[in-house]
Each structure stands twice: as structure tokens, then as C-alpha cells.
Amino acid sequence: MKRKFSAKAFAADRADDGGLLLYLYDDIGASWFSEGITAKSIAQSISAAGDGLSGITMRINSPGGDVFEGLAIYNLVRSQGVPVTVMVDGVAASAASIIAMAGQKIVMAENALLMIHNAWMVAIGDPDDLRKSADTLEKISDTLVATYAARSGKAASEIAAMMDAETWLNAQEAVDQGFATEIFKMDEDDDQDAQALAGSFRLSSRFKHAPAAAQPAVAKAAEPARPAAVGAFDLSALELDLRALELGAIR
């Protein structure tokens, strides 16, 4: 029997074999719109699981979020001294892809996606302020480069170029390039595909380059809804991602 408990934005199960299973199915970090997944909530789940953990498994389907929360979760999980397995069920983008690098085993669904890019933020101020912000972002991106390079075995310069280009990898590409260790196949009757997993308008509007597999779903999601009556205006189809306007948030 599993002992179940929750930590706000995600579920956690303690399995019979003594392992801890964490479901990271939300944005990384809290925001105005979501409780999100934080290092604090992960730490609470690890503490609640008690002593004697045999391992940690993280199942990820997240568009990313706060880079510092992502780094903290990565370091927290790796510091537990137990085997870590990561399963990418849908998408591990941005900060979520950093968390994924914590696994000794990184298993991706055959229709899942992983994305890496440079740190970014919304900033205001005079030229000096903006130059300082740019310097800060470069330092943060350098730490991300080191993390991806350590996992993949690629040269830092190659990782930096991939991040500059905002690179999306399917499961086979992730394995071939060292960002994942294996692929698991979905059941034949599972009707999920890459479009369903990663093709939301919210996801594509957050990043520069939506994956090719997601383009049909993105186009459909972006179609404006017809107003219910004259004078009415429906923003539901646009799903505007106002998270990008959170000043100071680094993603």
C-alpha cells in the first residue's frame, strides 16, 4: 500500500519499495496565477516521506518557470544521496528541463519534448539598470550551461549555442545528444501525441520557437473566439500568459 500525501501544487506517493514518487505537473515556482512547484514544497514532501528513502522518481510535465526554483529543486533532489529517476511524461521546458537533469536515469515518453534556452526576464529602468540585468542573465545562463554540459557530456560552447537558439528536442534527439538516457513507449491505445502534450497556445506564446510538432495545435488554439453578443469580448481563446509581466521574475 502506498501512503499518499500532497504538497500544494503536486502529488507525492511513498511506494512500498521505499521510494518517493513526485509529480511535477505545473509551472516551476509560484506566481499570481498558480501555486506552482517550489523547492519548499519538494522539501516538505521529502521530509514527510520520512527516513529510509530508497530513491526518488520525478514525473515531469511542465513548461518551466522560475529558474532559481528550478536550480534549487535540482540541487535539493541530488543532495539526498539516493538514486534519482526522472520521467518526462509530456514536456520538460526551461526550468523544468534543468530539474530533469537531476536524474541518473532520465526516461522520456516517445512523444515527449525537452527544451533548453537562455535565462530571460522582464526588466525596467535606465540604461545602467538594463545593462546590469543583462549581466545578471548572462551569469545565470552560464550556470545553466554548466548543468546541461555535465549531464550531456557536450562542450559548454555547444550547449551555449543550443540555448541561444532555444532548442527543442524530441525523445530520440534528447537520448542521442545525452540529455536523456532512454525512451519509454506509450500504449497503442493511448491517444496522446506531441501536439496534445506540448502544443498549447500558452506554451508557444511563452517561447520564441514552438516545436514543429506543436504548430497545428498552436494555430488552432490561437484562433480568436467569436463574441457571444455584440459588445462582448472573449479572451479565453487567447490564454494570455501574463506571467511574462511579473517584473523581476527570471525564467
Domain boundaries, the chain: 3-194
**Using the 8-state DSSP alphabet, how is residue 186 labeled?**
P
Cα distance between residue 112 and residue 63, in whole Å: 12
- The pLDDT of residue 18: 74
Q: Supply the DSSP string of 83-141, one letter for each residue.
A: -EEEEEEEEEETHHHHHHTT-SEEEEETT-EEEE----B---S-HHHHHHHHHHHHHHH
Spelled out in words, what is the top-level CATH class assigned to the domain 3-194?
alpha beta
Contacts of 96 (CB under 8 A, 6+ apart): 24, 28, 60, 62, 63, 64, 65, 70
pLDDT under 50: residue ranges of the chain: 1-3, 5-9, 191-201, 214-247
Contact call for residues 106 and 169 (beta carbons, < 8 A): no
Cα distance between residue 95 and residue 92, in whole Å: 8
- Of all residues in the chain, what percent are helix, strand and coil, respectively (each to 5)? 40, 20, 40
Model confidence, pTM: 0.75
Residue type, 249: A
- The pLDDT of residue 172: 97
- The pLDDT of residue 52: 84
Cα distance between residue 149 and residue 154, in whole Å: 5
